Amino acid sequence: MTIRRLFALLCAVVTLSSVASAIEAPTELTIAYVGTDVVLRWQPVAGATEYNVYKETDEITDVSLLFPAAMLAAPTTSWNDGALTIQHYYVVTAVVPSGDASGVINDTTGLAYEGVLVWVSEQGSPNVTGMDYTDANGFYEILDLPVGTYDLCLYKENRPVHMTTISISDGNNTAYNYTWPVFSRTHIAAGILAPGVHNWTNGNVYEMDGIVRVGPGATLNIEEGTTVNGSSVIVSGTGFPVLTYLNVMASTTGDGTDNGVLNISGSKYKPVVFTSGRLPADGPQRNSDWGGLIIDGDASTNRGRLATGEGGTGPYGNVSTANDGQSSGTMRYFRDDYAGFNFTASNQLNGICMQGVGSGTVLEYWQSYQGEDDGIEFFGGTCNASYGIITDTGDDGFDYTSGWRGHADHVWVTQRRDVSDRCIEADNHTTEPGESDEYDAQPRSNSRLANFTCVGGKGAVPQTTGSILANPRAGTQFNWFNMLMTLGRGTALDMDNSPTHLAAVGGASRLDYSLFWDNGGASTEVIDPSTGTGIGDGHFTVEDGEWNLAPTCSAPAAFPVNSTHIAAPTNWAQDISGYRGCGFTGSNATTVIANPMLIDPANAGGAYDARPQAGSPALNSASVAPAGVLSGYGLPYSSYIGAFSGPNDDWHIGWSRKASG
């Protein structure tokens, strides 16, 4: 049985948690007068059967030797202490019936298996979790789990292999043992998968011996819990494995009739994992160990149909929009670890690369982890994406170019590596070798984004400088809502190139209903004297060189910057419509400069947790984009800013992995 505590001083509100376990402490303990009586109130604790209230005239540090002043059966969450004349200290504890889980994991050779992750999550209460790694004897133990029914999952090297259900009863230990199957690697030869259906199942670990392509007319189905590795063969003198990647090919002629299809059927606790094939004897897994996932389609781009894509992929794309609704498959619950490769400065493989991919493709619950280049990049097309995580890339997080016209929502980007660059890099037309700056190329990129949480590298060690969080440029249009941007090393938003502003005529681009906090350095030019030291005003910039008529703001039609709706922040003393080139218009009420109160965005506590705590301004539904606004851009409504609905949101739990710290 576990007791959780919350300390409070009379007439004060304090929220302090105590011992660490799966159970939440009582929160929001308040003390108020009702008439002449003192009344305590607190939030309920999941699974609690009783609350004990302790009352002393001296500060309480240990309740083990004290007798409670009141013992209240749940669901009671208040207590009237009557009229008081002197100061008292109070402690409220929740009594939660609980038990333990333990067992031994062996493999089929009879040897104890070390390093298996055992994870439990209570059914119906996904925020109640516990975990342990098996020791050298294969033993694990998870203590103080509230009474209930749990999903128990086993992982080895982030590979989910087994899932079962256990029951926890009060004061008892639930034993669960498992014999771990020994998996051999099934080698997939380099080449093109022939037309027809191919199934990769979770009873195997697949190792690609080279570049594997899902050819025209072929469909590759990957079962939940399957692991796909790059090559384990280290190229002599390089320290890196043989280059491998998985490439889904476009149709043979570009007519969209026989394109390759990839179906990734992961689930919350059994994701499909694409990862390095490096063996332990060759050192730890690292970025560039394999090339990543590249999907080629027949949707339109503003560069037409290209014979060659990134890293020798392709062909992809189209001049015609006839195939903009094409499907390259349904891809859910998967991770892409240690991918990407830099051939040259202008030819790189990203973690996930979507080239001319149509809107019929489903991309949900995906993570790009510790990649060499961008986390994900869209080259034209109309593909959409939801519920994504991009963790510590070698360049940008979310990137697009070449006329991408999709939408994305609920994306969490963490850029804490010293080499990580932008959270969002947004282009209409990227100049390639031998091409001119065709920033007005058609169809024009027009991204529709909502509910992003962008955590930059401010304060990271080693620290790079100047990196910005979001950079719309090169003629793109952009319509972004409910964006949470914090800890940018440089500015949060940097809007570049005159064609980007020209493309915004009539309000065609918009950044609104968003929250910014702690971006840029303290030395950033100050336009609001009320900004605290160390917070900086580095939230918004447009380059001075783009606006030769500033600060008069008398721009003719050639510079219609005031048609760009970038809402000014709430409560700033100055009208900043004239700041750095008149780049900002809109209502002060729709953009917030405030601490989002994220749990642990910069890994100070080892959690890398970007969920907002209770009371965060990001959870104020009055600050979010209205449903009517979002529906006009094909975006879903959310009652919060950022990727998470609060401290108990769990869409990322089970299938993803956190930053390495």
At 325, the pLDDT band (50, 70, 90 cuts) reads very high
pTM: predicted TM-score of the whole model, two decimal places: 0.79
Distance CA 653, CA 367 (A): 12
6-18 b/e (C-beta count within 10 Å ≥ 16 → b): bbbeeeeeebeee
Tokens of 75: 């669901």
Q: In the predicted model, is pLDDT for residue 555 greater than 90?
A: no
Q: In the predicted model, is pLDDT for residue 306 greater than 60?
A: yes
Q: 106: how many CB neighbours lie within 10 A of its CB?
A: 17
Half-sphere exposure of 200 (CA within 13 A, CB side): 29
Q: 198: how many CB neighbours lie within 10 A of its CB?
A: 15
Of the two residues 475 and 637, the one the predictor is more confident about is 637
pLDDT tens readout for residues 59-90: 888 888 899 999 999 899 999 998 878 888 89
At 462, the pLDDT band (50, 70, 90 cuts) reads low
Distance CA 145, CA 129 (A): 8
At 526, the pLDDT band (50, 70, 90 cuts) reads very low
At 6, the pLDDT band (50, 70, 90 cuts) reads very low
3-state secondary structure of 304: coil
Distance CA 266, CA 312 (A): 28
> Closest Cα partner for 247 from 200, 294, 191?
294
Distance CA 222, CA 203 (A): 11
What is the amino acid identity at position 229? Answer: N
Tokens of 581: 């080139």
User: Which of 225-234, 430-439, 543-552 shows the lowest per-residue confidence on average (mean pLDDT)?
Assistant: 543-552
> Closest Cα partner for 333 from 379, 386, 371?
386
Q: In the predicted model, is pLDDT for residue 17 greater than 80?
A: no
Tokens of 507: 């309000």
Tell me the average pLDDT across 187-210: 95
3-state secondary structure of 629: helix
Tell me the average pLDDT across 525-552: 39
At 434, the pLDDT band (50, 70, 90 cuts) reads low
Most confident residue range from 15-29, 199-213, 412-426, 485-499 = 199-213
User: C-alpha 162: how far from its chain's center?
Assistant: 25
DSSP letter for 562, please: G
Average pLDDT, the chain: 81
458-486 b/e (C-beta count within 10 Å ≥ 16 → b): bebeeeeeebbbbbbbbbbbbbbbbbbbb
Tell me the average pLDDT across 244-249: 96
396-433 b/e (C-beta count within 10 Å ≥ 16 → b): bbbbbbbbbbbbbbbbbbbbbbeebbbbbbbbbbbeee
Q: In the predicted model, is pLDDT for residue 291 greater than 60?
A: yes
